Structure 1
Amino acid sequence: MSITIGTRGSKLALAQTTTVCKKLEALGIETRTVVISTQGDTTTQVPLHAIGGQGVFVRALDDAILAGEIDCAVHSMKDIPAYRPSGLFTSAILKRDSPADYLAHNGSLGSVRVIGTSSTRRKAQLLRHDPDIVIKDLRGNVDTRLRKLNDQEYDGIMLAEAGLTRLGLRVPGERFPAEKFVPSPNQGTIAVVSRADPSLMEVLSALDHPQTRTDVMYERAVMEKLGGGCFTPLGIYCRAGHLIAEVLSLDGTKTERIEVDVTSIEEAREQGLLLQARARELIEAAYKQLGISNEG
């Protein structure tokens, strides 16, 4: 059997796809890689919320699967929106790497005053920690971000620690504890999305890590109830059923948070609904301040 795998063209996306290909080839499955450009790759001068949020990294690959151009696609699972087109299935979720955010910086931590990130969540959490920090927009792949840091456009930049690990990069900086700086739902996780073909799904399921799947599905259940995508500052993290979720105001001055053990998707959804009710004003305020409709 031969499988055609779609991927974005960034170094990180290619590294993640290489990991999947090696695992499949170890099972005797031939693979072929097709690079597909997404809107998130080509439109880099504006924040994600201005061009549609999470889905901008995924839609072109979804379309290629549904059109039969590729069999499956490899994603950072945090980029996959809550609501998915019919005919697609997340056939494999690999064992989670570090879920943590990482502040890369040169010099001492005390000298870091200007930090680059375009994530509303990271911005809000940083401002909650230190309201005097200056946040400047920063998008682009890891190499681009690190180059701007080394060019001293920023004192520090925010990255996902898992991405640095997958690229084999050792960068001076600080790991932020996931319990305090709650990461984006599914951060640190690689997913393989395929068309809903039973034979293909069976082959890909050999790569699945059951505990990771359980945890990230609990996170997604909460995310579905909260909504927000890249618009509302929200973090959701589950480890072995211990769920932490928070919604923040854009300026980090207000937070609604839950921390609880869950044992089922239904319980995770219930917690998502509870948090959504408590954080409704924060969610609505974020949409209003960003000029985005929250209808439906």
Structure 2
Amino acid sequence: MPQLIRIGTRGSALAMRQTEIVSRLLASKGLRTETTIIRTEGDAETSVPLHQVGGQGIFVRALDDAILRGEIDVAVHSMKDIPALRPEGLATPAILARDPPTDYLAFDTPLDEISIIGTSSTRRRAQLLRHDPELEIRELRGNIDTRIRKLRDGEYDAIMLAEAGLVRMGMQINGIRLPVTQFVPAPNQGTIAIVCRDDTGLKDALAPLDHQETRMDTMIERAVMEEVGGGCFTPQGIFCRDRYLIAEILSLDGSRSERIERRVDDIDDARFTGRELRDAAADLIREAKTTLGLEKP
């Protein structure tokens, strides 16, 4: 059993709050922790779309490297930020019970007057345009406080956020929860994952924090995501609750989509479903990569 667990985190308010949650849970198990803030490329570059700087994985890479170099023992992540391909030598021994997986539309303008919405997500953009092709979707990066400030400064009529972040930060702002059937969340949205080096003592110390039902749902989502590919570049929503899966891939403008809804029995069944969705949506995936300059026509 380790005497002290060194936790690495990004410096944003939400990342720090998530680390506090994990530290408090570990303290309840009699474990001491210390926190180190690690700056990531994604935190440094907020002026361009995520797909131009490497996608969601840029928030994870620096922390992975710090674990592998032995500078920290553990990293706390929003699980949806963790890419499908993972370095050797790492493990994810604990996934916390899921917070709300839903997207939240925050606004001060009357709902029927909203025309400009901010988001940096290709998925959210496509789902919004599917809902209303007349909307203007503008790029929005930054932490929760920055995004809300930009909304209140009048740069947008509304912004889209993960509801889980608001819950963890104890924020209450005007808006509406969006239904998962129409706005299918990103895979693993609303979930905190604890990553550590592949060390038996560390894994055993962290394992009591693992929530088995959430692990199964999120592993099903990740299995589908891994088979589909495309990372955060292809608009894709993948959500599972109690093994009932909703998975979709959309065109960038939201005008076309492929979707599967079914109960899945296990991870192998999820992988089969992911391959089925990937094959059905091959043209949409290729088109998205080409349009975003990630693949030659």
TM-score, length of structure 1 as denominator length:
0.99
Q: Is the 8 A contact 2:67 2:74 kept in 1?
A: yes
Structure 2: distance between partners of 1:294 and 1:188? 34
Amino acid of the structure 2 residue aligned with 1:58: V
Structure 2: distance between partners of 1:147 and 1:54? 22
Q: Equivalent residues in 2 for 1:75-224 (5 A)?
A: 75-224=77-226
Amino acid of the structure 2 residue aligned with 1:247: I
Aligned to 1:260: 262
Structure 1: distance between partners of 2:296 and 2:230? 9
- Give the C-alpha shift of residue 228 in structure 1: 1.0
Q: For residue 82 of structure 1, give the secondary structure of its aligned residue in structure 2.
A: coil
- Give the C-alpha shift of residue 263 in structure 1: 1.4
Aligned to 1:48: 50
Amino acid of the structure 2 residue aligned with 1:231: F
CA deviations 1:49-90 (Å, max 9, x no partner) are 111112100000000000000001000000000010000001
Structure 2: distance between partners of 1:180 and 1:124? 11
Q: Is the 8 A contact 2:109 2:158 kept in 1?
A: no
Q: Is the 8 A contact 2:150 2:156 kept in 1?
A: yes
Q: Is the 8 A contact 2:7 2:73 kept in 1?
A: yes
Supply the RMSD in Å over aligned alpha carbons: 0.9
- Give the C-alpha shift of residue 149 in structure 1: 0.2
Structure 2: distance between partners of 1:178 and 1:32? 37
Question: Which of 232, 235, 246 lines up with 2:237 in the alignment?
Answer: 235
- Give the C-alpha shift of residue 91 in structure 1: 1.2
Q: Is the 8 A contact 1:115 1:157 kept in 2?
A: yes
Structure 2: distance between partners of 1:105 and 1:12? 20
- Give the C-alpha shift of residue 178 in structure 1: 1.1
Amino acid of the structure 1 residue aligned with 2:69: A
Aligned to 1:289: 291
Structure 2: distance between partners of 1:283 and 1:83? 18
Aligned to 1:36: 38
Structure 2: distance between partners of 1:236 and 1:112? 27
Change (3 A) 1:187 1:132: same
Runs ≥4 residues deviating over 6 A: none
Structure 1: distance between partners of 2:296 and 2:86? 18
* Structure 1, unaligned runs of 5 or more: none
Structure 2: distance between partners of 1:165 and 1:76? 13
Q: Is the 8 A contact 1:78 1:186 kept in 2?
A: yes
**2:26 paired with 1:24:** yes
Aligned to 1:245: 247
Structure 2: distance between partners of 1:228 and 1:110? 34
TM-score, length of structure 2 as denominator length:
0.98
Q: For residue 54 of structure 1, give the secondary structure of its aligned residue in structure 2.
A: coil
Change (3 A) 1:20 1:285: same
- Give the C-alpha shift of residue 294 in structure 1: 7.9
Q: Is the 8 A contact 1:284 1:294 kept in 2?
A: no
Structure 2: distance between partners of 1:96 and 1:51? 28
Aligned to 1:7: 9
Amino acid of the structure 2 residue aligned with 1:51: V
Q: For residue 57 of structure 1, give the secondary structure of its aligned residue in structure 2.
A: helix
CA deviations 1:88-119 (Å, max 9, x no partner) are 00111000000000010003111111000110
Q: Is the 8 A contact 2:249 2:284 kept in 1?
A: yes
Amino acid of the structure 1 residue aligned with 2:286: E
Question: Paired residues, what number?
Answer: 295
Q: Is the 8 A contact 1:4 1:33 kept in 2?
A: yes
